[in-house]
Amino acid sequence: MSMPQPVTSLDAARRNALAAKTDDGRNPGLPLDLDWVESVRVNRSAVERRIATLGGRRTVKKDWQAAWLVKAITCIDLTTLAGDDTPGRVRRLCAKARRPLRADLQEALGLAERSVQVGAVCVYHAMVETAVGALGGSGIPVAAVSTGFPAGLNPHPLKLKEIEASVAAGAEEIDIVITRGHVLAGDWRALYDEVKDFRAACGPAHLKAILGTGDLQTYRNVARASLVAMMAGADFIKTSTGKESVNATLPVSLVMLRAIRDYEAATGQRVGFKPAGGISAAKDALAYQVLMKEELGRPWLEPELFRIGASSLLGDIERQLEHHVTGRYSAAHRHPAG
For residue 78, list its beta bridge partners: 121, 310
Q: What is the mean pLDDT of residues 60-83?
A: 95
| Secondary structure of residue 15 in the 3-state scheme | helix
Q: Please, what sign has the CA dihedral across residues 195, 121, 26, 170?
A: positive
DSSP label at 308?
A: E
- The H or E element that residue 194 is part of is helix 188-202
Q: What is the pLDDT of residues 251-283, one digit of tens each?
A: 999 999 999 999 999 999 999 999 999 999 999
Over residues 210-267, the pLDDT tens digits come to 999 999 999 999 999 999 999 999 999 999 999 999 999 999 999 999 999 999 999 9
Q: Which pTM does this prediction carry?
A: 0.92
pLDDT for 207: 98
What percent of the chain has a predicted confidence (pLDDT) above 90?
86
Looking at residue 55, its pLDDT comes to: 75
How many residues does the structure list for the chain? 338
- To the nearest whole number, what is the mean pLDDT of the chain? 92
Which has the higher per-residue pLDDT, 329 or 19?
329
| DSSP annotation of 266 | H
**What pLDDT, on a 0 to 100 scale, did the predictor assign at position 58?**
67
Q: Say if residue 172's pLDDT is above 60.
A: yes
Residues identified as active-site: 175, 238, 274
Contact 211, 275 (CB under 8 A): no
Reply yes or no on whether the pLDDT at 3 is more than 70: no
Q: What is the pLDDT of residue 61?
A: 84
Summarised one tens digit per residue, pLDDT across range 138-152 is 999 999 999 999 999
What CATH code is assigned to 7-334?
3.20.20.70
Domains of the chain, by residue range, sit at: 7-334
Tell which wins on pLDDT, 48 or 19: 48
Residue 12 has pLDDT above 90, yes or no: no
Query: Residue 196: in which H helix or E strand, if any?
Result: helix 188-202
